[in-house]
Amino acid sequence: MGLQSSSRRLANALTTKRWESIAIACGSLCIISFVIALAGSGNIPPTAPWWDARRVETHYRHHIKGAQAGSIFIMVAGALYLVYAAALTRQIRKIPEIDPILSDLQLASAAASFSAFMVASIAMGLLNFRDYGPELTQLLNDILYMAMFLVWPIFLVQGWTVAWAIFSDKRPNPILPRSMGLINIVAPIVYSLASGIHMHHTGPMAWNGGIAFWPGVVFFGLQVNVDLWYMWKNIQDNRLLP
Residue 87 has pLDDT above 90, yes or no: yes
Residue 22 has pLDDT above 80, yes or no: yes
> pTM for the whole thing?
0.88
Give the pLDDT confidence of 98-149 residue by residue, as tens digits. Answer: 888 999 999 999 999 998 899 999 999 999 899 999 999 999 999 999 999 9
pLDDT score for 7: 55
pLDDT score for 236: 82
Q: What is the DSSP letter of 205?
A: T
Give the pLDDT confidence of 97-112 residue by residue, as tens digits. Answer: 888 899 999 999 999 9
For all residues of the chain together, what is the average pLDDT?
90
pLDDT score for 150: 94
Residue 175's nearest CA partner among 62, 108, 89 is: 89
pLDDT score for 199: 94
pLDDT score for 13: 52
pLDDT score for 172: 87
pLDDT score for 12: 54
Alpha helices by DSSP H, listed for the chain, are: 2-13, 16-40, 53-61, 64-92, 100-126, 134-149, 152-167, 178-191, 214-236
Give the pLDDT confidence of 27-56 residue by residue, as tens digits. Answer: 999 999 999 999 999 999 999 999 999 999
Residue 58's nearest CA partner among 133, 121, 123, 112 is: 133
Domain boundaries of the chain, sorted by first residue: 17-237
Average pLDDT in the 177-194 region? 95
Residue 193's nearest CA partner among 180, 206, 220, 212 is: 212
